[in-house]
A = this chain, B = another copy of it.
């Protein structure tokens, strides 16, 4: 065992020496570390406040709604204020600030944010309605609240966006990335979203920071609302790089809509897999031209019933026949 101790000791020496190399990943901020678990816990408790009737709080044995909500609010206030203070401390703006100044700012931001909860709840109600009305597979609004990943991502996004507007660093993105991890839906906290937003299935959706989404918009899995190019890197920060989606728009699965000048007009329907890099006027229904498909058979077969298909019939005479993975 002495041997193991020695090896570990040498490894520790090597690593400690390595930490002195001035790498950008080696800032030792022992008092300025946001706690991911606490940020997620805050998010979960905020969801309990939003859907007060749905998630029983196993921790507090409190049965009246008001007491339960008060306990949740006290918990969120304490922890959110603490986490905001931590992230403010390492932001350039507060570099030379006194602890008291940071604490006051954190408290102010916490209460400003909590004051938005009724507004958030009013929006979330419209989202639940939109999901129920829009999805034939939905058996009840309960099913949506308990199990739909789209709703989870939207609620998280609405919460994180309010913190983003208050210019709280780091925490909003930690929240939306938690939702991204659980749902595969990546909505930047900077995104502006109107009422009645519905996401179905959702995996693979990416919605960029400066996207603006109107009311009654419906988006399916794999949709990107993105930037045209990011070659500029940090020099593009703050510019409108992502599209504007007007009211009553439906965007089917796999479509990409790119660019800060791209405006999708009211009542537009964008078909699956469409690749849009310029504006679309109100009322248009845009779909990709029916794909040309190639058909091959190992024998004589009945006719394909797709009138748009380009049909080739030939024997497959060898194993080298190439098919696209």
Copies of this protein in the complex: 3
Count A interface residues, CB 8 Å.
154
Q: B residues within 8 A CB of A139?
A: 169-170, 173
Q: Are B285 and A321 in contact (CB under 8 A)?
A: yes
Q: Mark A198-231, 1 if CB is under 8 A from B, else 0.
A: 0011011010110000000000111010111110
Whether, in the assembled complex, A183 has its beta carbon less than 8 Å from a beta carbon of chain B, the answer is: yes
Q: B residues within 8 A CB of A77?
A: 4, 8
One of B145, B203, B271 near A206 (C-beta < 8 A): B203
One of B70, B73, B183, B236 near A136 (C-beta < 8 A): B236
One of B8, B73, B133 near A233 (C-beta < 8 A): B133
Q: Are B253 and A226 in contact (CB under 8 A)?
A: yes
Q: Are A297 and B284 in contact (CB under 8 A)?
A: yes
Q: Mark A88-113, 1 if CB is under 8 A from B, else 0.
A: 00100000000000000001000100
Q: B residues within 8 A CB of A134?
A: 230, 233
Q: Are B73 and A52 in contact (CB under 8 A)?
A: no
Q: Are B27 and A53 in contact (CB under 8 A)?
A: yes
CA gap between A173 and B54 in the complex, in Å: 17
A298 and chain B: residue at smallest CB distance? B283
Whether, in the assembled complex, A244 has its beta carbon less than 8 Å from a beta carbon of chain B, the answer is: no
Q: Are A135 and B283 in contact (CB under 8 A)?
A: no
Whether, in the assembled complex, A252 has its beta carbon less than 8 Å from a beta carbon of chain B, the answer is: yes
CA gap between A279 and B279 in the complex, in Å: 34
Q: Are B233 and A136 in contact (CB under 8 A)?
A: yes
Query: Which of A8, A25, A323, A325 has the most CB atoms of chain B within a 10 A radius of its CB?
Result: A325
Among all A-B residue pairs, the 3 with the closest Cβ atoms:
A136-B236, A271-B324, A28-B53
- Could you name 13 residue pairs across A and B whose Cβ atoms are closer than 8 Å? A8-B77, A18-B121, A28-B53, A136-B236, A140-B169, A146-B174, A149-B177, A184-B204, A201-B206, A253-B325, A256-B273, A284-B297, A288-B293
